[in-house]
């Protein structure tokens, strides 16, 4: 049965990919662009050389982290759209901590900045979880509105407490080198940082958590049938709150990863120093 389900999912996924390709081809042809030329340009810009590969993988890190958070949340039956706000608040707290970790040893500074991002995302997600668990507010509504609040909070931070030495620019100061993940030197242009290790490590953690732990079983039971889970002694509300918090932690870590990537670009390219916006 499991193999049959996997085969069905693979067929559905393949069908979606083919349908998306056909739709994109029709749109390109209607615009007067050759689909083959567009595909060639896409491949060259994404994987055409090692520098582009490094840039692509660096940009994939925060996307995968947010996707992992979404998986955890939806497995518990909690669908929210607060990831942009949680990314922003995770990045904001990571900025506040990272700017003051210059005297720390390199690994400790990086870990402190990353943990700050996780905490920032979890705290912002906690507002959604609290509104749902205690007030019955649908998480999809509260999280959507909190995204707008997060944007305004970040705008205030870069014009106030976190504003850098240039009073005319709404941006923070440059991060100390010790707070940034080191780049992989074998990639020309230093476009790939060592935080690429977060992708496989976090993916394995999520798979293990959901499929090999009692907590994961309770989480999936709460998402599939809350009443049955309650009869089994599992509290669906508690599971939902924890799932939302975990998803917020992943989003906050994604916000920190975005800062690592932006700061790496700034330190590699001096010309970018005057145009970087840390948040």
Q: Are residues 23 and 109 in the same domain?
A: no
Residue 186 pLDDT exceeds 50? yes
Q: Are residues 24 and 160 in the same domain?
A: no
Q: Are residues 99 and 156 in the same domain?
A: yes
- Residue 191 confidence (pLDDT): 64
Q: Are residues 121 and 166 in the same domain?
A: yes
Q: Are residues 44 and 56 in the same domain?
A: no
Residue 198 pLDDT exceeds 90? no
Q: Left if phi > 0, otherwise alpha if psi is -120 to 50, otherwise beta: which for 136?
A: left
Q: Are residues 13 and 113 in the same domain?
A: no
252: enclosing H helix or E strand: helix 236-268
Question: What residues pair up with 183 in beta bridges, in sequence order?
Answer: 193
Average pLDDT for residues 127-141, to the nearest whole number? 95
Q: Which of 48, 63, 78 is the last residue of a domain?
A: 48
Q: What percent of the chain has pLDDT over 90?
A: 44
Q: Are residues 19 and 104 in the same domain?
A: no
Average pLDDT for residues 163-188, to the nearest whole number? 74
- Residue 6 confidence (pLDDT): 64
- Residue 1 confidence (pLDDT): 52
Taking the C-alpha atoms of residue 263 and residue 265, their distance in angstroms, rounded to an integer, is 5
Residues of the chain by 3-state class (helix, strand, coil), percent to 5: 75, 0, 25
Taking the C-alpha atoms of residue 199 and residue 143, their distance in angstroms, rounded to an integer, is 25
- Residue 271 confidence (pLDDT): 39
For 106, the domain range is: 49-278
pLDDT in tens, 78-121: 999 999 999 999 999 998 998 888 778 768 888 898 999 999 99
Residue 8 pLDDT exceeds 90? no
Residue 264 pLDDT exceeds 80? no
Total count of domains within the chain: 2
Residue 234: helix, strand or coil by DSSP? coil
- Residue 259 confidence (pLDDT): 81
Q: Are residues 100 and 205 in the same domain?
A: yes
CB 85 within 8 A of CB 146: yes
- Residue 55 confidence (pLDDT): 81
Q: Are residues 41 and 147 in the same domain?
A: no
Q: Are residues 39 and 161 in the same domain?
A: no
Residue 246 pLDDT exceeds 70? yes
Which residues have C-beta within 8 Å of that of residue 27, sequence separation ≥ 6?
none
Q: Are residues 53 and 120 in the same domain?
A: yes
Please give the model's pTM, rounded to 2 decimal places. 0.85
Q: Are residues 111 and 208 in the same domain?
A: yes
Burial 80-95 (b: 16+ CB within 10 A, else e): bbbbbbbbbbbbbbbb
pLDDT in tens, 11-50: 888 899 999 989 999 999 998 889 899 889 888 888 888 7
């Amino acid at each position: 049965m499991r193999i049959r389900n996997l085969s069905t999912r693979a067929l559905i996924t393949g069908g979606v990919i083919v349908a998306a390709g056909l739709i994109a081809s029709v749109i390109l042809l209607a615009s007067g662009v050759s689909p083959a030329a567009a595909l060639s340009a896409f491949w060259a810009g994404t994987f055409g050389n090692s520098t582009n590969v490094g840039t692509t993988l660096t940009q994939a890190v925060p996307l995968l982290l947010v996707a992992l958070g979404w998986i955890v949340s939806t497995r518990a039956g909690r669908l929210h759209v607060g990831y942009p706000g949680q990314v922003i608040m995770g990045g904001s707290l990571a900025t506040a901590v990272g700017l003051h970790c210059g005297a720390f040893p390199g690994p400790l500074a990086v870990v402190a900045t990353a943990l700050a991002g996780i905490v920032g995302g979890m705290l912002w997600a906690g507002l959604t979880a609290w509104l749902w668990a205690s007030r019955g507010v649908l998480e999809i509504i509260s999280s959507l509105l909190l995204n707008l609040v997060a944007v305004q909070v970040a705008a205030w931070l870069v014009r106030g407490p976190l504003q850098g030495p240039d009073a005319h620019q709404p941006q923070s100061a440059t991060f100390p080198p010790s707070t940034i993940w080191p780049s992989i030197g074998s990639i020309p242009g230093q476009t790939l940082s060592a935080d690429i290790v977060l992708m496989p490590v976090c993916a394995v953690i999520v798979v293990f958590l959901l499929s090999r732990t009692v907590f994961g079983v309770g989480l999936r039971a709460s998402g599939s049938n809350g009443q049955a889970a309650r009869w089994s002694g599992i509290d669906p509300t508690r599971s939902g709150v924890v799932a939302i918090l975990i998803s917020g932690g992943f989003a906050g870590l994604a916000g920190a990863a975005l800062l690592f990537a932006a700061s790496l670009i700034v330190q590699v390219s001096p010309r970018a120093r005057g145009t970087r916006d840390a948040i």
